[in-house]
Structure 1
Amino acid sequence: MSLIGKEVLPFTAQAYHNGDFVTVSDENLKGQWSIFCFYPADFTFVCPTELEDLQNQYAELKSLGVEVYSVSTDTHFTHKAWHDHSETINKIEYVMIGDPSQKISRNFEVLNEEEGLADRGTFIIDPDGVIQTVEINAGGIGRDASTLVNKVKAAQYVRNNPGEVCPAKWQEGSETLTPSLDLVGKI
């Protein structure tokens, strides 16, 4: 069953953010665009490369009105320790949510029950708290955060321009489509 078009289920969690422990809930998502980036675990191999890549896109995502949240089943204490001891993770400015109860990972349907770890899942969430995109990768396949910028721009365009859709490889400023009987079989 797809999570596309579904509202994020209620949650409250502790997180590490810019030197502080903070509480984050589903209410923080309302009124802004959000990205949830689930990853298996702190102090691992592929995960820090992905989180650094996401940090490299963070300024541009913020300029689009997007807040970024990384989530693993580690605690917020573990996030702080990783942040303090890794040159790569020390660069991170976005919120790092701890999900030791695994509730958030279950809510987003990315929990690997056997391992007790989250799969590599990326979700773009609109200002109403509704999931607009889902990407889930196998554990050994890292993600490319640069693709998120165009996905966010497309999601924002579609939200602001009802009746229009963005075709494959759409870039900001390029043509969109207006679905109609006239287009059927002509694309």
Structure 2
Amino acid sequence: MAADEIRLSPTSYVVLGLIHLRGASTPYELEAAVQKSVEFFWKFPHSQLYREPARLAASGHLDVEEEAGGRRRKFFTLTSLGRSALQTWLAKPVDDVFEMRDEAVLRLFFSDSLPPSALVELAEREISLYERRLERYRQIAAHELPRHGHDRRMAPLRLGVKLAEAFREFWEEISLDPPPPSPPPDRRN
């Protein structure tokens, strides 16, 4: 497949971006890096991290070098085509805003048949989940802030903290004062 025929996906840009930041990397190393960073704001199946580098290498966006002995790991590096594709993507305006997909909020929306106690239980579970998420963010900050300060890679962490705090606060409000069920729909219209 020629380089100009390949469709680059968000996962492609995750791979290109991580290799740009890290240098030569194996798919396993990319997965480990995702688990400590990108995963908190961009979810995708990690199995894609094992397929995508080879696809990008076949299209000329990455070079690959295989170890001669041992485990024969494959290390991927950016080519000029890959670097150019990443820079073009970074410069392109984003045409959409944050898209929320939260199952707990979906359940809240459809919860009219639940008693207030079930809603409180849902809210308390969510509070606990967000407290754990905030603790994880604090651990990341303790490890990464000395190295990065408040640079651009730490900005998404600050956003994650603000979002998690807002969600925790929202669920605390639901827990303390569960909203009443919505009135039945008027089916005459």
Bigger strand fraction: 1
Bigger helix fraction: 2
Q: TM-score, normalised by structure 1?
A: 0.29
Q: TM-score, normalised by structure 2?
A: 0.29
- Which one has more relative contact order, counting CA pairs under 8 Å at least 6 apart? 1
Structure number with greater Rg is 2
